[in-house]
Structure 1
């Protein structure tokens, strides 16, 4: 069996909306000192077909729960800083990998379908929003159900404070860098990917009420207002 990054702690699936599931787990960045913090995966079910967005490798009980939901058909990698566990799922399920153009890989993955701005995504009723200006690929999956749902990676985050997956170093550093804000434009993404202001502002052309990020809590029912406040009040240039 190919070697994949080790499985890390995670929680259980929550059904946020019918057929839309949310799971929080841990990511460990092998820096000095080591940084441990939380990340999220979204699973969308269409019939019995499953699409995994911002994948997290699950333990045996988690994989059994995933298989109980349906059959994994697609993996979506939205951001250049993510994708650690995609190869595990591609090997296990022979699913299609969807990414923005320009994505690079380290574990033999290849893009099967491109996420193209304004074009259909892997789920019926979904479309891709693709940023034009960052130095690394970054996209958002827009679902048109339930008044509109954005699924983001690093571009917009909703961490309100450290949770059980944080170590002390990550809690201190992310507080200092401004991560713990509602619907914040990702500080790390803003610093290293360098998106331009007018590119980020295009997000407000989408219709949505809810927002599920790779980092932070679900933001339900008031997401457009919160994102608009971040966009209009933030300096991302």
Structure 2
């Protein structure tokens, strides 16, 4: 598996809701002419003994042992075009079914086994898909019908309250200046790259949810719909 990027520092797997787990890791990349070193999150959903990885983050050998102890890794789901560094690792190691939106580009020439669609299947029950229709790159959000509604997001919905232990000093300073560290935020780089339109957020506001598990930042519990509705109003005047 040496052809895949090595595991980078990450935290412990936390069970944030029954059979829904969350782990924060590291991302290093060059984007918009700058070096970025920051945190990213993977959400794990368990149904029976089957695990679905959303926003996959490669874990260390110790982390993989703990992941294996949760169940069988059956599915890997890519919901944001700017993520996907570690999808091929999990596909190769576990033979997992790889799900993605049409039009996404994938590392290691990975080809989706299943395409995501709003009216289509998902790898576990009690879930639905919201797909952005007016962005330059494909992006979607999974709604899990548990605990009053849980949204699993990638870059569009973020909740970075402050830089964490997985940031470099340079990225901490740069991303503070760019306005990343706000509760219930819309990702600043995602906004620049994708130029999203208000009509998608009009539709998103109609979803019923209490919690958001973002691709970046910490889980936002209980008041997520109210907090993000306020943000949509600030940004788009909704």
The TM-score bracket by the shorter chain reads over 0.9
Is 1:207 aligned to residue 208 of structure 2?
Answer: yes
1:160 touches 1:180 (CA, 8 Å); kept in 2?
yes
Alignment-derived partner of residue 23 in structure 1: 23
Alignment-derived partner of residue 184 in structure 1: 185
1:120 touches 1:128 (CA, 8 Å); kept in 2?
no
Instruction: Point out where structure 2 has 5 or more consecutive residues left out of the alignment.
Output: none
1:80-123, CA deviations, whole angstroms, 9 ceiling, x for partnerless residues?
Answer: 10000000000001111111111112312111112212444211
Residues 98-107 or 225-234, more deviating: 98-107
Cα offset, 1:35, TM superposition? 2.1
Alignment-derived partner of residue 93 in structure 1: 94
TM-score, with normalisation over the residues of structure 1?
0.96
Alignment-derived partner of residue 54 in structure 1: 55
Cα offset, 1:205, TM superposition? 1.2
Q: Equivalents in 1 of 2:103, 2:215: separation in Å?
A: 20
Cα offset, 1:199, TM superposition? 1.3
Residues 13-22 or 109-118, more deviating: 109-118
Q: Equivalents in 1 of 2:206, 2:109: separation in Å?
A: 36
Is 1:41 aligned to residue 38 of structure 2?
Answer: no
Q: Equivalents in 1 of 2:202, 2:113: separation in Å?
A: 29
Q: Equivalents in 2 of 1:165, 1:13: separation in Å?
A: 15
2:7 touches 2:59 (CA, 8 Å); kept in 1?
yes
Alignment-derived partner of residue 9 in structure 2: 9
1:43 touches 1:52 (CA, 8 Å); kept in 2?
yes
Cα offset, 1:33, TM superposition? 5.7
Q: Equivalents in 1 of 2:188, 2:119: separation in Å?
A: 25
Residues 120-129 or 141-150, more deviating: 120-129
Alignment-derived partner of residue 110 in structure 2: 109
Q: Give the match's secondary structure for 1:122.
A: coil
Q: Equivalents in 1 of 2:198, 2:62: separation in Å?
A: 43
Instruction: Point out where structure 1 has 5 or more consecutive residues left out of the alignment.
Output: none
2:55 touches 2:79 (CA, 8 Å); kept in 1?
yes
Q: Give the match's secondary structure for 1:22.
A: strand
> Any residues of structure 2 matched to 1:138-217 within 5 Å, and which?
138-217=139-218
Q: Equivalents in 2 of 1:70, 1:21: separation in Å?
A: 12
TM-score, with normalisation over the residues of structure 2?
0.95
Q: Give the match's secondary structure for 2:134.
A: coil
Q: Equivalents in 2 of 1:189, 1:9: separation in Å?
A: 24
Aligned length: 236
2:84 touches 2:107 (CA, 8 Å); kept in 1?
no
